[in-house]
Structure 1
Amino acid sequence: MRLLHTMLRVTDLDRSIAFYTDLLGMTLLRKRENTQYRYTLAFVGYADESEQAVIELTYNWGTHSYEPGTAFGHIAIGVDNLHQTCETLRKGGARITREPGPVKGGTTEIAFIEDPDGYKVELIQQGT
């Protein structure tokens, strides 16, 4: 077994694709429209689905808001230079909700940003 993808419901598919590809550097791997059931799926990731888990962005046509709830936490992405990544994302318009710094009670450096629908994305400094 292996993890295949995580699905996020989005309210503006093009805006979400731009966030994950333009700002976070993922690739749009595939996109599929279902006219009968009125939804579009877009899969984004850093590698092909055969190699690693990806994110499925689901747009249900005509839906303009969601209640994410309190159970979902965040997506985590490892980065080579946390401070530089945050500055680049800030300049690109990303909302940084936790500035870079050590995790509470530890030494791992992290930061948090939000995607256009308010989903949290944790950025984790890789290596030292």
Structure 2
Amino acid sequence: MRLLHTMLRVGDLDASLHFYTQVLGMKLLRKQDFPTGKFTLAFVGYGEESDTAVIELTHNWETSSYELGNGYGHIALGVNDVYATCETIRAAGGKIVREAGPMMHGTTVIAFVEDPDGYKIELIGCE
């Protein structure tokens, strides 16, 4: 496994992109709109996603701001087989909160597990 990205919910995507790229010097690696889900994902980082962990900025079109504390989303881990990894985690007593399968607005296979404090960890198929 390796750390892929950390997701943050942002109220103003343009302002966030300016901050991360112009203020912090990251590169905009990719950006995609999901009209049926009414959200946009933008990935920023100092290196390519294949080499280093990055930040996923998620902009939900109908939400203009968040209270500090609920803006945190999840940590993502790349795994070879999401289904098998879920079974291994379940066998070890881990809690699966979203079973392995394609994401709702795409085809990438994902799952979510929850740590003892309730923080979510996304498993993403990287086969």
For residue 24 of structure 1, report the CA deviation from its aligned partner: 0.4
Match of 2:10 in 1: 10
CA distance in structure 1 between the aligned counterparts of 2:18 and 2:67, rounded to whole angstroms: 22
- Secondary structure of 1:6's partner? strand
Which has more strand, going by share of residues? Answer: 2
Q: Structure 1: which amino acid aligns with 2:22? A: D
Gaps of 5+ in 1: 73-128
When normalised by structure 2's length, the TM-score is 0.54
Cα RMSD (Å) of the superposition? 1.4
CA distance in structure 2 between the aligned counterparts of 1:14 and 1:69, rounded to whole angstroms: 21
CA distance in structure 1 between the aligned counterparts of 2:65 and 2:28, rounded to whole angstroms: 23
For residue 3 of structure 1, report the CA deviation from its aligned partner: 0.3
Gaps of 5+ in 2: 73-127
- Secondary structure of 1:43's partner? strand
Match of 1:43 in 2: 43
- Secondary structure of 1:7's partner? strand
Matches within 5 A, 1:1-128: 1-69=1-69
For residue 67 of structure 1, report the CA deviation from its aligned partner: 2.1
For residue 69 of structure 1, report the CA deviation from its aligned partner: 1.9
When normalised by structure 1's length, the TM-score is 0.53
Runs of 4+ in 1 over 3 A off after TM superposition: none
- Secondary structure of 1:4's partner? strand
